[in-house]
Every structure is written in C-alpha cells, then in structure tokens.
Amino acid sequence: MIKVCLADNFPVVHFGVKSYFKDHAEISLVANVGNFLMIRDILLTKEIDVLILDLELEGLSSIFEVKSILKNFPKTKIIIFSGLSEQIYAPNAIKAGVSGFVHKKEKLETLGLSIIKVSQGKIIMNETVKKNLALIAKQSKSERLYRKLSNREVEVLRYLSGGKKNHEIAEILGLNEKTISTYKLRLLTKLNVTNLVDLVNKAQKLEIV
C-alpha cells in the first residue's frame, strides 16, 4: 500500500481527496496537514511514500524549502497538486526534484495514477513542461532569475503588473504595506531592475505574469 500525506490549505480539498481514496486498492491517505511547518513532524513520525503538496500551502514561501524536504527525507516522493500555472511552475518544481505536477483542474483519477507512477520511481510531466525545461536550458542566466522568486513574490509581482498600488496589494493579501514594499525591493533586486516600469516589462518578457 502506498502511504500518502496531503498538504493543502483547504478542508474541502482534504475531504474530497480523502473520500476518493478511502477504499483505494493501492493508495492509503495516512496524514493530512494544513501548514508547511507540520510536514517535517509528519515525516519524522510516519513513513510517507508520497507527499501531495500545494505550492500555495501556508508557511511555504520558496521552492528551496521543498528542496530541503527532499534532501532530508529522500525516500519520500513529492507531487505538486496546485491551481497555479503548470507552464510556469512545473518546470521549476521538477528541476527542484519533485516527481510530478498535477493541476487541480484534473480529475482525482489522474492524481491517483500519478501517485502510483511516482511511487515506482517515475517522473510525471506533460509535453508542455518538457518543452519548457528544454527552453530553460537554453536561456541565459539572467532569464532564469525569475525561477528564484518565491510564490508570494510572484503573487505581488502579478498585482504590481496589473497596476495595483502597494496599499491595495496589502489589503488584498492581508499584509501590511511595509511588507509589500519589502517584496517590491526584493523583486527589483532579483530581476536586476531599478524601477517599477522596468520591473513590469521584465516580468512580461519572461512571461511571469
């Protein structure tokens, strides 16, 4: 039996996934967590074959934290189960070492098949992701910079590109305006630009937004 842990923010997702796999012949959902900080405790106390992880999970701010989990718990495979753009996020996740990316618009049957495949040591990615990985390999170092952005930084960048002001973004995300200013400074540094106009243009050029 493949032992699975689901890490997701929303109770409805936990309920749906748990219900679907309740009587599955090969998959057993043995743990549920709603915060990234809880994952380590689960992996230390239970034998987990596959971790189903949403990149927008509370407490998860960077793909580098996912790499840390993979490094410290090498026997556990990770499948990203997310509503974020597969075209943008899957190549980065695969390069970080996860075994697959399943978009939340897919049927749970697809998630189940993916769990079985990755437990057998296979990597799950569609043709679009394969093409993006090939493209990334050809890009210059500066063009790869956006891969270092955290999920929250990408989120802030999207709102900035949409014309939102710092205080508006702060209200939308439930953060204070000073925090948004900090994210903005990080974005300017990471994308090697000095002003908002160039930041937005760079983001559009790299198809981040």
Domain ranges in the chain are 2-136, 145-206
Q: Could you list the pLDDT tens digit for every one of the 209 residues in the chain?
A: 999 999 999 999 999 999 999 999 999 999 999 999 999 999 999 999 999 999 989 988 777 789 999 999 999 999 999 988 787 778 778 888 999 999 999 999 999 999 999 999 999 887 666 666 666 555 555 455 555 677 788 889 988 988 999 999 998 888 899 999 999 998 988 888 889 999 988 888 776 65
User: 């580098």: which residue's tokens?
Assistant: 64
Q: Do 145-206 and 2-136 have the same topology in CATH? A: no
Helices (H), the chain: 11-21, 36-45, 63-72, 86-96, 108-119, 127-138, 151-161, 166-173, 177-190, 196-205
> For residue 208, what pLDDT is reported?
66
| 78's tokens | 């990770």
Distance, CA of 79 to CA of 93 (rounded, Å): 9
User: 């930041």: which residue's tokens?
Assistant: 199
Residue type, 209: V
Distance, CA of 109 to CA of 206 (rounded, Å): 33
Check: CB of residue 18 under 8 Å from CB of residue 29: yes
Give the right CATH number for 2-136 from 3.40.50.2300, 3.30.1490.20, 3.30.70.270, 3.90.1580.10. Answer: 3.40.50.2300
Architecture per CATH, domain 145-206, reads as Orthogonal Bundle (1.10)
> For residue 18, what pLDDT is reported?
96
> For residue 181, what pLDDT is reported?
92
